[in-house]
Chain A
Amino acid sequence: MFSHIRTIWLTFLHLFKRHVTIQYPEEKIRLRPRWRGRIVLTKDPDGGERCVGCYLCAVACPVDCIALQATEDENGRRYPEFFRINFSRCIFCGYCEDACPTYAIQLIPDFEMGEYNRQNLVFEKEDLLINSQGKYPGYNFYKVAGMDAGVKQKGEGENEDAPVDVHSLMP
């Protein structure tokens, strides 16, 4: 008997607590920037594709839902020929973002991806690529990488000496 009354009392007290439930979709939930939702491919500060097709996201993916093919432009800059994520398999673990050495692949706070047809959850590069640097502005991989891929000449990158003069014997 006492237990019943106590339950009713506690339920009554909850009327005065803060609401947890929100009226989605009229009201949107506030998500933190590092919330792991939909995956995007970002661009570097110069507007070039950040993804260099290194396959690290694909190999880090525990459900193997990323497939891509790297190719090169005439300057030797690598980019993905195609980049496919099967979101019907994705578990939004964020390992791909952790693995990405160029900040290209990022998980953004967006989860509104519901589809009636599972096939529509297969995203290609044109669905993934956004015209933004995402969470990590200012980073351009080719400025710190050693190779010359049309972004900078040899020796012009950050922390690089001018190319060695092979004919010189000076120390």
Chain B
Amino acid sequence: MFIHIDNKTYTVKAGKNLLEACLTLDLDLPYFCWHPAMGSVGACRQCAVKVYKDENDMKGRLVMSCMETVTEGLRLSIEDKTAKAFREQVIEWLMTNHPHDCPVCDEGGACHLQDMTVMTGHDYRRYNYKKRTYTNQYLGPLINHEMNRCIQCYRCVRYYRDYAGGDDLNVFAAHNHVYFGREKDGVLQSPFSGNLSEVCPTGVFTDKTLKEHYTRKWDLTMAPSVCNHCSVGCNTIAAERYGQLRCMLNRYNGDVNGYFLCDRGRFGYEFVNSENRIKQALIRSRTNEAATESEIMEHVQSLISMSKVVGIGSPRASLESNFALMQLVGKENFYQGISEDEAHLNRLVVEMLRSGCVHSVSLKEIEQADAVLIIGEDIWNTAPMMALAVRQAVVKTAASQASQEIKIPVWLDSAIKELAQEEKGFLATLTIATSPIDDIATHSWHAAPDDLARLGFAIASYLQPGKIVNTDFSEALLDKAKKIGDALKKAKNPVVITGTSCYNDNVIKAAFDVAVALNTGERKTSFSCVMTECNSMGLAMMGSPSFSVANENIKTNGHATAVILENDVYKHIPSANADEFFNSCDHVIVLDALHNATTEKAQVLLPAATFADGDGTLVNNEGRAQRFFQVIPNTTSQVQESWRWLKKLQTLKLHTLNGHALHPDDLLREMETALPQFEGITNVSPKHDFTIHGEKIPREPHRYSGRTAILANKNVSEPKPFNDGDSPLSFTMEGYKGTPPSGVVPFFWSPGWNSVQSVNKYQEETNGALRGGNPGLQLFKNKSDARDLFFNDVPESFVVAKDRWLLLPKYDALGSGELSSYTAALKTLSPQPFASMSTGSLQALNAKDGDMLQIVDAGIMYGSLPVKADENVCDGVVLVTAGLRESMGMSWGTRVQIKK
């Protein structure tokens, strides 16, 4: 479709609005209330352009570009004098009450309002009267509120209420007094509240954790990173200054997280700067425990040459590190550092996705689904961004259907909302306990895992009768299955979501069977299984036996040195078993970034890099391999990536020193050869020697300041910048200035666009893929010739045992991260450990709400926990807050005894 802008002809995509069309064409047009993820409301009047009837029309008319659809041959002018004057006038009005705050405002330098003010040319205030002021509110430890700066664009409430489904932020008062905040001071309840700092075009809502060590955007050294806190693998930008990680920003990836992050991902970064970090290599039980690298090498050489070496991998370490460990110890001595129960589930998920008979779904595709079935996973708390995507699917299905019927463009936000009213797409949540996502569900049902699995199989059996044998389902169950099955049948793009947090393979099998049963010729079903850690999938794909097998082997064979990679064994394994393992090992070498129960057992402790001080690749639950890059230059401490340590140890073992520097892409190449399931993984990002016109991509913006003063207190002669040989990025501000390949975009910036809104300039079209395709590499391929795989494993229904309770985890969106729990701000928001049971179970125990209960499993006593009565937990089940230090190593999914 052709349109004429300022007498030049451009090709644009039909269905877009004029603002989107202009931004896609790289033309600068100011806006406030429009947001690519939230559509247009035409409230701020900032994006005015002139539209002409035909080429003879000299007068034209002013329109808001975000409210008009492109039409063939449309003539418009951005540069028109009236339009420009109008836009400048609008900014001038907005600025009449905007305070004189920029020097002390955290948004300054990355502020959309600053950018737009400069863009329109409004440079001098003519308003000499009093400015309006507001009092601020306390909104919790994550978000700072400074209401004076507000320009009333309404983006915050549109995001918080409409997009993220929160209900404790609202707009109050009237006319020129409108106030955006809570009813009274208090912590924002939504686990997506951090996005307010990026959604707000000015400094009303800002990142409170950044305030603790404030740095302007232009001073940050930034690198593309991948979130470490759940299995979804959202893309982030990690930002450093003075050797400290300062903040995490969203990195747009059209297939994964889009424009938003959850609070655990955004604020859970502070463990990198934690006091608890391991910075020094130690050899324990010497007088001087601190060891130099050469001492370590010498010591470890004697250890690993003396006895058999066993490697314990980790679901939170990168693929490179796990593979380097596998190379060091040999494939037969490499074990996943997780319990057999979890490893079994993970293997099952890999088998399902590898079969290729259903599509492994991305978050973007979940957003576009028209029916969603969740079986057994509380995604709101285990994979918050997936819950946000499900919410979009549910809220937007009705809207998009309505818009197709009466031809309203999907971006016309308020009209679509009027049309869709309360109508929602189909969502069924079949979980063990209530979750905030139930609020938008058509059906929600809470039962024990086995019963959830039975309902799943019943749905599959209803969808494709005859495929499931052993169908002795009750009438009530069949009725539920029919209702859900009918809704799923109507859908064109249904998605089935499950997860490993029930610790029940039948649940996953049932979910998969539903997906397969739905997958007929015209209907494309997608499947997703949430896992526990950021690289659970990568580790599972390596196909090694679990920790329990390692434990057995060591017990029988004895005499082994264990190398434990970035894994707190006590988190995954009951402490008695872990103790047993450590006692039977001759020597224990641990690589980790934070001190924990496992590092205490180490005789040799090596400081490992986190995502911020190292490079690596993670595979998310979808099977998408994504590369993260080092952002903290490491010049003094011994911290280095685990894979680098392990490779150095390997050269010791093999007595070969080839002298070549080792890069992550070399490791991935070796991995591709050794493990064919990772075929193609070398293409996950550009190689370490990638340059554009001979230049690397700078991690620092061109306005980076203080280069000749930062280290001047130590030595006035500036050292050479840290050289990063592992990636195409450099630790300087010099280098290629254009748009880099999508996987190595260190920050979003474009001339005139200092704020995060500059992301528009990196996309092929608004809301589309990044230029050159979204980063990440899908390792699972859909197979058109795949045979339908039915598991057909219907369990018996759950029976309440007399004094045995099924122990299941209850996750928390903010509190359950192992690493994020070292962040002070999140720690204050994470719940106190508790157990919840139904009133029936409590009666059986003769206990009441608030009593302290002790959980006993096979003779192991766990700490006592206060109990809460919860009507929605079914009888015979006890839920315990998971991921907290008090509930480490619990044997989830088993029947335990409970004592008062």
Contact = CB atoms under 8 A, between A and B. Distances in A.
Contacts of A93: none
A147 B130 CA distance: 15
B242 A147 contact: no
A164 B134 contact: yes
B716 A145 contact: no
A54 B716 contact: no
Nearest to A144: B100
Interface string B194-213: 00000000000000000101
Given A163-B134, A168-B173, 12 more contacts: A54-B102, A59-B218, A69-B215, A71-B214, A141-B103, A145-B101, A145-B104, A147-B99, A147-B104, A159-B128, A163-B135, A168-B177
A86 B712 contact: yes
A37 interface: no
Interface stretch (B407-415, B700-708, B842-850): B700-708
Interface in B63-104: 99-104
B101 A147 contact: yes
Contacts of A149: 104
Given A67-B706, A147-B99, A147-B146, A119 B177 contact: no
B715 interface: yes
A161 B97 CA distance: 10
Nearest to B701: A59
Contact of A54 (B104, B146, B172, B707): B104
A124 B716 CA distance: 13
A166 B146 CA distance: 15
A64 B707 contact: yes
Given A122-B713, A146-B99, A160 B133 contact: yes
B130 to A, nearest CB: 5
A121 interface: yes
Contacts of B703: 59
Residue from A61, A86, A118, A167 whose CB has the most chain B CB atoms within 10 Å:
A86
B709 A89 contact: yes
Contacts of B705: 55, 58-59, 61, 64, 66-67
Nearest to B132: A161
A78 B103 CA distance: 10
Interface of B: 99-104, 108-109, 128-136, 146, 148-149, 172-175, 177, 179, 211, 213-216, 218-219, 242, 703-710, 712-713, 715-717
13 contacts: A59-B109, A59-B216, A64-B705, A67-B710, A68-B706, A69-B213, A86-B712, A101-B103, A146-B148, A146-B149, A147-B99, A164-B177, A165-B177
B174 A159 contact: no
Nearest to A77: B104
A52 B173 contact: no
Contacts of A89: 708-709
Q: Which 8 A-B pairs have the closest CB atoms?
A: A146-B99, A67-B706, A54-B103, A67-B709, A58-B705, A146-B148, A64-B707, A86-B712
Q: Is the interface of B mostly helix, strand, loop or mixed?
A: loop
Contacts of B708: 63-65, 86, 89
A138 to B, nearest CB: 16
Interface in A40-89: 52-56, 58-59, 61, 63-72, 78, 84-86, 88-89
Interface residues of A, number: 52
B108 A84 contact: no
Contacts of B99: 145-147
B104 A52 contact: yes
Residue from B214, B218, B242 whose CB has the most chain A CB atoms within 10 Å:
B214
Contacts of A161: 130-133
B4 to A, nearest CB: 40
B858 to A, nearest CB: 52
Contact of B709 (A64, A71, A118, A165): A64
B148 A86 contact: no
A171 interface: yes
Contact of A56 (B101, B103, B136): B103
B219 A167 contact: no
Interface in A105-143: 118-119, 121-122, 124, 141
Nearest to A99: B103
A69 B104 CA distance: 13
Contacts of B707: 64
A15 interface: no
A162 interface: yes
A119 B715 contact: yes
A167 B183 CA distance: 11
A102 B103 contact: yes
A161 B179 CA distance: 15
Contacts of B712: 65, 67, 84, 86, 122
